[in-house]
Structures are given as C-alpha cells and as structure tokens.
Structure 1
Amino acid sequence: MACATWRHAHAHRLGRCRAARTLRYVAPGAARHALRNREAMTARILLLGGTGDALRIARALGPEHVYSLAGLGRVPADLACAVRVGGFGGAEGLARYLADERIALVLDATHPYAARISANAARACAAAQVPYWALRRAPWQPQHGDDWRMVDGWAGAIETIAPFSRVLFTLGREPLAHLDEVPAHQHWTVRCLDAHAGHARARVIDARGPFTLEGERMFIEAGRFGVVVSKNSGGDATEAKLAVARELGLPVVMMRRPALPHAHRAFVSTQDAIDALATLVQHT
C-alpha cells in the first residue's frame, strides 16, 4: 500500500502516469551524476534555455537529453547533452517535435520575459500530453532608497524617460528596433548581446553579465546616465546596476513581468530543478 501511495503521488506531480510508473527517487547529492548517466536513463528531457540558470541545468544533463536555444547569443560547446538551435514553428511545431523525439518532460528555463516561448511550450505540452515544468526565477524587490518607476511595456518606458537626456537601456535587444526614434534631446546607451553599430545618438554595447558592483559603478558614473531602464529579471548576474542606481539616486524604469502559463511544477531555485529532474532516472 505504501508503494502504491508513493507511485500515485509522483504520478500526480508529473501529470503523466506512464512516466511516473518508471521513476525512482534519487538523493539530491546524486542528482547530477544520475542525470548524466546515459545507461540509467530512458525518459528524454527537453530543456528550453538561453539563460545562465538554464546553462547550469544543461551541464547536469546526459547525452540523450536536449538543450534548446532560440539562436541568440553564444552556443555552449562544453555540454554532454544535445544542443538544438532555432525555433520549433510555434506550439504546433513543438508538439510534433515532442512526439517525434519521444520527449517525456519539458523544463522551461527561458527568460522571465520570454512569454511567447513559454505560452507555446505550455500549449505544446498540453497537446502532446507531456508534463510542463518551469523555472520561475524570483523577481527583484525594491529596497529602501530605490526610485522605481513601474511600467507595463515599451510605450510606458518611452513616456517615463521623456524628461531625461541620457538613458541606459538594459532590456536586451528590444531598443534596437527603435533606434530611429531617439528624440533629439536624448542619447541612448543600449547594453545587450548584439554588436550593433548604433548611431550618433545611440550607442550599443555588446556585453554579457554577470556584472560586478564596482564595474557597474564605474560604467554608470562614466556614462553620466540620468535614468536606467530595466526588466525585473531577478537573479544575481545583473542586479548590481540596481545597487548603483540606489547609491546615486537614479530612477529605474522597471518593466513589469508578463503573465506566464501555469506549470505542473514550478521551481525558484536552479538546484531544486536539477534535483527534481533526477527523479526521472529510470531502472535499467
């Protein structure tokens, strides 16, 4: 009876009884070894990534699993798992891929603002009857001394920065599509993963985090920025800019996070996600 109860609980969490019948628990300390042990695995994992958190998870996966990247940024060359670059063709294309490749579980570790990718992944998993798990990185919280101006999107950000002359964008590539819209009284600095040439009123800096507190202090002071525009990405890699803005009394125009789909299991901690994936280790 105890065994049946254990199996039922795991089947409920995974949302897929067939997969749950073959699972066994792996202690957290053995999680990384279990995920990389090819002979012990039959259930395939599709990891949707593109973030530092996702890369850490990918490094724990064995060769039968797949790490999927949208094609932006560098493709890691030191992974044991397979790496797939490019889109799937929407939710329908991803559902076909899940069936064709016999994927048993999808873990969405994309950026918190990759709402369309997450929505397509959830729809595809529902269509293919594959469990959809997600890493939901905790957002930053304002601290004493912060001057955050909350906005819902690009239009709100542009309206809020109108009084400022020197603007630092840390939103990723989105501002690149608007470089021909820089007002005459403004100069934009856009930091993102792109070697764009920019122009007289817009400088584009190709840079990847993590960024240190000292480095951000020097960068922001040298740029004489009056405002910082940011997404609430969470995590440690790019948080230092917020501390510097707080020190210097700079306002931060913060874009609110988009709504994301419900996941069968959601994790705040990368290590918790790695440990949970280890429960997919099957008996040989």
Structure 2
Amino acid sequence: MHLIIIFLALGLAYGLRYVDFLTSSKWLVRWQISLLLFISPPLLLIATAIAVICMGPQGKMLGFSTGWVSYILAWIFCGWTAILGLALAYQGWQSVQKVNNYPQINIAGKSVFLLDNPILFSAQIGFWDSKLVVSKGILERLNSEQLDAVLNHEQGHYYYRDTFWFFWLGWLGKIVPFLPKTQVLWHELLTLREIRADQWAKKQVDGLLLAETLLLMVSDRFTEQNNFYAAYSCTTPPNRLTERIDAILAETDFSMEQKSYWFWSWILLNFLPLITMFFHQ
C-alpha cells in the first residue's frame, strides 16, 4: 500500500509540472504560480516519504499490507535530501568565510566587501544576513550614479532576503532535477527575483539609468550561478534580459508583496500525505 502512495505522489508531482504557468500578465500571480509549481512537487514527495517512514514497514493500511521496499525507498530519499542540503549549506558557509577575508570598505554609507577583480561584479552572498560584495571594476569603471543604481538593486535583494529564500529553493530544485520544467521554473523565479529587486531600486534611482547600468554590467561578462547568490546581473538568463529591461522602463506596478491566502492554502495541501498515517494499523 505504501508503494501505491509513493507512486501516486510521483504521478501528482509530474502532473503539477505540466501546468501552463505563463498564462497571467499580473506579476504577483505569475510569481506565486511559478513558486507553487516549483516547490510543490518536492514538498509533496518529502511529506510522502516522512509519512511512510513514520508508519514503518509493518502493519496494514486500508486492508492492504505494507512492506520493507517502500520503507527503504523513503529512507533513501530522505537521506539524499538531508545530505544534499548539508552539502549546499557547507558550500554556502565556505563562500561566506571566503568573503570575510576580503577587505571591507564603506561606499555611500554602506559597508561592502571588495573583490580584487577588474570585472563588473556585485552580489549579496550569504544566507539571512547576507554580505554585499563588489569588485574593483565596479568602483573604477562606473560613475557615482551608476554605482548608486547597483547598490540600490543589491539593497532590494537584502530587503527581500533573497539569498536565504533562494538557498532553500535551490535545495528543493536539486532534490528533484528529474521532474519536467525544473530548470524552466528556476530561471523564471530568478528573473522575477531580479525584476523585484529592480523595482525596489527604481524607487530610488531613475529607471533609464538603472537599465543602462544593467546592460553595461551584463555585456561585461556572465559569471557562474550559485543558489545563495543574489546578484545584479549574474543570475539573469541571457534570453530574459529584455524582459527585465522592459519591466524597468515600464510604468506598470510590479508589486509581488500582497498577501494571498489561496497561495498558502495550496502550500499546506502538499502536506496532505501526512494524514495517511491515521489510516495505518
């Protein structure tokens, strides 16, 4: 019976990923649907595995016997998710320790860590209380207005704690890389994250200046992505750059902060497999 529950959860996880998520022109709805479709399948599988482990390999459920196969599979999956999470956390911790060795300077009243590199680079690195890193290239090649645009964008990432939340999202994505649209949804969330930070910066600086600075930094180079980075240009997929610029120059409201009870209701539905424990005897 437990194997049936596992296969049902897998089938539902696959089915959720085939939902067409690019159907709304409203940014809040687009953000919430993309987030739901990205996190629901792994949360559903984790809840199912925990339920199977808690019920154990012995006993019956709705008249059907249980066995060791499903129990072992559940432990393997939970072990894999735990090891993967610890590995990613260790990588993030190493990055933070590396940043702590960089010289610390003050720019426009903000404390930043200086990367000795001529490229144009800025990023929030860390977890909840992330650290802002900028390269020497930023200080040498950008004027004061462009630098202010970059700093305000990074402040948007810090305000929304993007490094912390996207660390967990990156972990969930790596748990189920075999599911369809994992990379597509991940790039969608990265793009929407950058648009949200752009809109934060746009409240402080001119939108045209922000777009010009973005183009300048992106044209300089692309760097390797990390799930705990929140950077001005690094994490934007090249084919989504135009979308970011259009959003910066538009006059539309791109708010993604409104409360939505249906969103959290759907999140709670992912833990329904835990209810199956009450039917185990």
Bin for the TM-score computed over the shorter chain:
under 0.3
The TM-score with structure 1 as length reference comes to 0.24
Structure having the larger proportion of residues in helix: 2
Structure having the larger proportion of residues in strand: 1
